[in-house]
Each structure stands twice: as C-alpha cells, then as structure tokens.
Amino acid sequence: MNHLSDQELMKIVQAGDYAPASEIYDRYSGRIYNFAFRFLKNAEAAEDATQEVFVRMIKYASQFQGDAKLSTWLFSITANWCRDYLRKSDNKAKEAEDVLLSLPASSEYSPERDLERRESELRVKRALGALTAEQREAILLSRYQGLSYAEIALIAGCSEGAVKTRVFRAMETLKKALTADVGGGGRWLNATR
C-alpha cells in the first residue's frame, strides 16, 4: 500500500474500498492534527478535528479531484471544520487552555533547556494567539505546512492577494511580539557597531 501515490489510494477509496484509509491517515494525520491544535489551541478539539477530517475524506471521497493535491484538499476540510468550531461562541472560551500542558515530555533535554524551550514555546503560542483567525490560519499553513500562497488561497477560500496580506499582517504582529524586549521577551545582543 505504501508504494501507491495519494491519488492511487484515493481511487481505491473512491471505488468503495476503504483499505487505504489507514495508510492515508498515517501520511497526513500528524500534519492535520498539528495544524488544528495550533489553530484551535485545544488538544481535545484537535483530536475531534483530525478524526472528523478523515471521516469526511472517506464520506466525500468522490468529490476529490484526481489532479488536485490530497494535502490541499484535506487542509481545506480541516480549515472548514476549525472555522466552524470557532464560530460556535461557547468554544471560544476553551481557547485559553494552556497548550504546554499537552506537550509530550522530551527526555533528551535537561530540565533547564526544557524550561527555556517551554518559555519560548509559550511566547510563540501567545504571539500566535494574538492573531486573527484568518491570519493564524494563513501563517500556520505557510510556516508550518510549507504550503504556497496559491494552495492557502484554495484552502481559505480567498484570493492569493488576500493570503499575501494576511501573512504580511501576521508577520508584522508576530515580529513585534517575539522580538520586543519586554518581560519574558527575548532581546538581541548583536553588536551594532
């Protein structure tokens, strides 16, 4: 099964045989889950999102066009699910959940390094949290999923120009949040001479 391309696996699914479901899940679940987790800032919701995305993939397999990238299609489903989730007002309160609690313990690091990493993570998490949902979606897909603006535009349902603006605005906000020398923030020690 792992010899087959995404398109070939999807053809089998489209023919009504779900044998490739497990393989497709293995290929994309990590990316989907991480995207949803960072977008929603809630592990439980990210689990629901991941499961639901793959169920929808099976359910709507016939809508998948063979010439499209499966990743783009899956991220479209994911982004839709996440937007719906955030739209429900009672879910917004859950955003406050501290993502650091659900991070796996990394045994390779010394406690000090771990602490320092966690601080850095916290800072990045806070900075991402300060973005609008649209900006966050765009920056997550660009920075962490390596998607092109054209792909992001497809997923977000907007123009490439809009993606460009969202990423730019997001970067402006993140830059301020991450490079400012205020309590908890980092500072550059490079000599200016």
Partner 1 sequence: MTKTVSTIAVVLTLLGASSVTAARFTTERSSHTLTLLPGGMVVVENVSGNVRVTGTDTDSVVVNIERVFRANDPAGLVRAREATLTTAEGHEKLRVIRTVITATSPDFGSVVNYDLQVPRYARVRIGSKSADDITVTNIQGSVAVTNINGRITLGEVAGPVSVESINGSITFDAVSKPIAEARLTTINGNIELRVPSNASFTWIAQSMRPNYVTTFKSLAGRAVGPAYQAFVNGTKGPAFRTTAVMGSVALLRDGTKMSEAKRIFEEVRVTEMMMIAPARRIVRRPLIDGNLQFESSLGEVAVGEVRGSANVKMGAGEVQLGIVRGICDVVSLGGPLRFGDVTGRLNARTSAGDISIQSAREGGTITTGGGTIRLAHTGGPTRLQSGGGDIVVRQASAAVSADTRSGDIAITMDPSARSQRITAKTGKGNVLLNLNPAFGADVEVTILTSDPARDLLRSDFPLSIQREQVGGKTRIRAFGKINGGGERIELSSEEGGVQITSSSVPGTPSK
Partner 2 sequence: MAECDAMNEQMPLLLTESLGREERERAHQHIENCAACAAEWKAYRATWSELGELPEVEVPARVKEQFLSTIGASRDSKVIPMRSRLAPGPRPSALPRWFAQAAAVVILVGGSYYAGNRTAPLRVLPSPATIQSVEQTPYSIAETRVLNASAISPNIEGRPNIQNVQFVDADASDNQIGVSFDVTSRVTVTGAPTDKSLVRLLSYVLERDNSTSPSRSNAIDWVRRTYSDPNHADPEIADALAKVLRNDTHEGVRIRAVETLKDMSPASSGTRDALIDALKNDPNPAVRIKALEALSNLAKAGTALDAKTIDTLRAKASQDDENPYVRVKAAELLSEIP
Contact assessment for residue 34 and residue 42, using Cβ atoms and an 8 Å cutoff: no
69 touches, from partner 2, partner 1, none (C-beta below 5 to 8 Å by class): none
CB neighbours of residue 83 within 10 Å: 15
Minimal distance in Å, beta carbon 118 to partner 1?
11
Query: Which residue number, 55 or 115, has a Cβ lying nearer to partner 1?
Result: 115
Query: Which residue number, 59 or 113, has a Cβ lying nearer to partner 1?
Result: 113
113 touches, from partner 2, partner 1, none (C-beta below 5 to 8 Å by class): partner 1
Residues that bind partner 1 (CB under 8 A): 110, 112-113, 115-116, 119-120, 183-193
190: left (phi over 0), alpha (psi -120 to 50) or beta: beta
CB neighbours of residue 192 within 10 Å: 4
115 touches, from partner 1, partner 2, none (C-beta below 5 to 8 Å by class): partner 1
Minimal distance in Å, beta carbon 73 to partner 2?
14
Task: Please state, in angstroms and rounded to a whole number, the distance separating the CA atoms of residues 73 and 50.
Answer: 14
Minimal distance in Å, beta carbon 148 to partner 2?
6
CA angle 63, 158, 86 (to 5 degrees): 80
